[in-house]
Amino acid sequence: MQSPWRQGSLVLTAALLGLPLFVICWVGLQLLGTGDTSTLSHLWQTVVPEYIRHSLWLMFGVAFGVILIGVSTAWLTTCCRFPGQRILSWALLLPLAMPAYITAYTYTGMLDFSGPVQRALREMTGWGYGDYWFPEIRSLGGAILVLSLVLFPYVYLITRATFLQQSATTIEAGRSLGLSPWACFLRLALPLARPAIVTGTTLALMETLADYGTVQYFGVTTFTTGIFRTWYGLGDLAGALQLAGMLLVAVIALILIERWSRSQARYDQPRSRSALPFALRGWRAWAASAICWLPLVAGFILPALQLASWSLDRWQVWTQPEFWQLAFNSFGLALTAALIVVILALWLAYGRRQIPTPLVRLSVGFAGLGYAIPGLVIAVGLMLPLSQLDSWIINLSKAWFDYNPGLLLSGTLFALLFAYTVRFLSVSLQTINAGLTEIRPSMDEAARIHGYSPLQVLARIHLPLLRPSVITALLLVGVDVLKELPATLVLRPFDFNTLAVRAYEMAGDERLADAGPPALMMVMVGLIPVILLSRAMLKSQKSALKEQDFVPVTA
């Protein structure tokens, strides 16, 4: 296998995976070149200002929420000791298993006028309709609350890792100067953790911009709902592409801001043991425990209990063949997509290891940008080339064989799997790369000396060593595919349904209890990677404790 051929194949693979981005950019440049901005002008005069306003408020609100919850819980579980601290250190990851739109359905069921909370309030007070004020969950504020409760683990996980790595000498120097635990947090730990906080918040904001199920169900008009309405409601693919281009610009701006923030950070900390924890006593200990339990209860326990209650009320659904057909479709699609994504990730990651030229590194990095792009944008960017290719195949088949093969690419599982591959390749690529960095290059060189080809080195040496990384990548991608809603809604075949789509349809028909079983099934499967991540956190924490003998500082 010649190196130029391999390099060309790697670049071509990355270019194909970047097809949706190329299409959206091409449409934008074409509009600038022709000067035909009638659709864009109409959108700007009617809906775009509202999309921008709601999206900005949503981003500001979610940013405030995830930073407030994620940073405070990360500091308390890392640097303080209080009742329940060890359980909370891993349990605060559980909201990651709960898709935002599922949490939105559960809170609507609990807090709506006919829900148990308001019903109990009326029974206790004797009030009727219009006699009292109750906050409306289906609103912009409700969307901010739900997304904050689901996405704060991004900030918590990354910030907590930073707090664990911070040097003890920094905190102890502050303590020796008379600073309280609160002052140490504000004046020392928090500034040092700023890059991690920015990174976690950026990830949460990307998920916020990509969300469709929550904002659509709550009636909040954002770019994702606008793209869906323009495409499906108005049948205007060009307008949808232009809105997707605007959303893509916002996502790229977030990526650039995050990278600029990290490039500006310059910290020099001496390497030493981790900071000594503060042992909280009395009301401070119980307050810290309450602060950490509150987002866990609101973000996971209450929604999970509501889903369990609905599922018990609809227990007969679990015995119906139709439900298990939905589960089979969802799991089969997730497994197929995970296998495709992991194979491509192995190909690209190993290719970059073998041919680390600037072109290959740039191409593989570009292929991994898909996770930052909303699924709806990827779907819109795929439909134009695939539909045109289908049209070309149909015309050619009619001319040569007088036969209409129908849609072979768009509107089929091929388009759906293509979108999943573009969207979730980065998850698998980063996992595989982490495993490859632990394999020393000398092992490759020794195998090549014994006459092994690059593919034989990958199959006989790397794959056995990469087995944990491959399994982790399969699980992560499979669960992400299982929960993906916007791309599945747009690209699925007409006679094909999944658990996510069924939960969305039931909630859209106000049959929230019927949405319980498919939603609960997705949440239970989503717990698998979260549990694995929690176990890895506990293992690393135990190993860190063994390396140092410390005595907690009483606060």
Instruction: Dump pLDDT digits (tens) for 274-322.
Output: 556 777 888 888 999 999 999 999 999 999 999 999 988 888 888 888 8
Q: What's the confidence (pLDDT) of residue 551?
A: 45
Transcribe 292-356 into DSSP letters.
HHHHHIIIIIHHHHHHHHHHHHTGGGGG-HHHHHHHHHHHHHHHHHHHHHHHHHHHHHHHHHH--
Give the span between the Cα atoms of 402 and 554, in whole angstroms: 84
**What residues in the chain have per-residue pLDDT under 50?**
1-2, 267-268, 270-272, 547-553
Q: How far is CA 79 from the centre of its chain?
A: 27
Residue 30: what residue type?
Q
How far CA 65 is from CA of 185, 188, 374, 483, 552, in Å, comes to: 19, 22, 21, 23, 30
What H or E segment, with its residue span, contains residue 80? strand 80-81
Q: What's the confidence (pLDDT) of residue 268?
A: 46
What H or E segment, with its residue span, contains residue 151? helix 140-165
Q: What's the confidence (pLDDT) of residue 3?
A: 65
Whether residue 155 contacts residue 74, with contact meaning beta carbons closer than 8 Å, is answered with yes
Q: What's the confidence (pLDDT) of residue 172?
A: 65
Task: For the beta carbon of residue 468, count every other beta carbon within 10 angstroms.
Answer: 11
Give tens-digit pLDDT for 194-252. 888 888 888 888 889 888 889 999 989 998 888 888 877 777 777 777 788 888 888 88
Whether residue 160 contacts residue 78, with contact meaning beta carbons closer than 8 Å, is answered with yes
Q: What's the confidence (pLDDT) of residue 123?
A: 85
What are φ and ψ of residue 238, in 5° steps? -65, -45
For 212, residues 6+ apart whose C-beta sits below 8 A from its C-beta are: 101, 224, 225, 228, 374, 375, 376, 485, 486, 489
Name the nearest CA neighbour of 469 among 442, 433, 493. 433
Q: What region, left, alpha or beta, does residue 282 occupy, with left being phi > 0 and alpha being psi -120 to 50 degrees?
A: left
What residue ranges define each of the domains in the chain, with the CATH number in brackets? 314-497 (1.10.3720.10)
**Structure tokens belonging to residue 388:** 């045109």
